[in-house]
Amino acid sequence: MTVPDSLSRRAMLMKLGIFLNTVIAAVLAVPVVGYLFSPIARARKAGDSWLPLGSLEEYPAGETRLATFRNSDVRPWDGKTADSACWVRRIDEQTFQVFAINCAHLGCPVRWFPQSRLFMCPCHGGVYYEDGARASGPPERGLFEYAYKIAGGKLLINATELPTPGSPSALVNIGGKIPCA
């Protein structure tokens, strides 16, 4: 009696072999995918971090000053990229606004001009008023703003990630509509 090739013992063993390898590949894929997507988990872990911007005296009322801070989740080989900059506007004794350095258009570093009380972006010409609201140019919204608090005579901000137009982080939306809405 002849058995068709597709029903033979060898064919069955080959199919079993393919099945075993598929299962093992699927199991191995889990850690690989987990590893590849770890930056998302890492960013979530950075979560709620209050970073010091120095003592309140460094920021005279009515003025806007450049401040730098060290990010919370850094590695030894990050070098200077572990640091970030931001603009601190002190409105009065207890009221501040802390703006991200990144233009709300495409993230270039905006510069403050105290004479005309404007932020200007060197890339595509975005301009913002002193309260961070959009004045002109391609940005669709005002500057990104960090949440801040005052503790022990020091100014702290909640900065967890690079602010981008699409990122719904802890940033406060000011002077305009929500992008991409």
Partner 1 sequence: MRVIQNLGEWLDARLQIAATLRETAEHRVPRETASWFYVFGSAALVVFCIQVITGILLALIYAPTASEAWNSLQTLNFNINLGWFIRALHGWGSNFMIAIVLLHMVQVFLFGAYKYPRELTWIVGIFLLLMTLGMAFSGQVLRFDQDAFWGLGIGASISSRVPVMGPWIVKLLLGGPIIAGATLSRFFALHVFVIPGLLIALIGLHLLMVLKLGINDWPMPGRLVRKATYVKEYHELTQKDGIPFFPAAVWKDLFFAAAVLLALAACAAYFGPFGPSGRPDPTIIQTAPRPDYFFLWLYALLSLLPANLETPFLLIGPVIGIIFLLLLPFLFGEGEKSWRRRPLAVLTILLVAVVLGTFTNLAVNAPWSPVMDAWSGNPIPPQYLQGRSALERQGAAVFQLKQCHNCHSLGNEGGKRGPALDQIALIQTEDQMIRQVIQGGGNMPAYGKNLSPAETTALIAFLKTLYPAGRRPARDASRVQVTQSEAPPPKATNP
Chain residues binding partner 1 by CB under 8 A are: 36-37, 39-40, 42-43, 46, 66, 68, 71, 73-85, 101-102, 105-111, 113, 115-118, 120-125, 127, 129, 135-140, 160-162, 164-169, 179-180
The answer to whether 144 and 99 are in contact (CB under 8 A) is: yes
State the minimum distance, in angstroms, from the CB of residue 73 to partner 1: 7
If the CB atoms of residues 20 and 64 are measured against partner 1, the closer one turns out to be 64
- Taking the complex as a whole, how short is the minimal distance between the CB of residue 9 and partner 1, in angstroms? 36
Q: How far is CA 21 from the centre of its chain?
A: 40
Which residues have CB under 8 Å from 119's CB, separation 6+? Answer: 87, 99, 110, 111, 112, 113, 127, 128, 129, 130, 132, 143
Q: How far is the CB of 167 from partner 1 (least distance, A)?
A: 5
Of 15 and 124, the one with the shorter C-beta distance to partner 1 is 124
Q: Supply the minimum distance, in Å, between the C-beta of residue 163 and partner 1.
A: 9
Nearer to partner 1, 151 or 180 (CB): 180
Nearest-approach distance from CB 113 to partner 1, in angstroms: 5
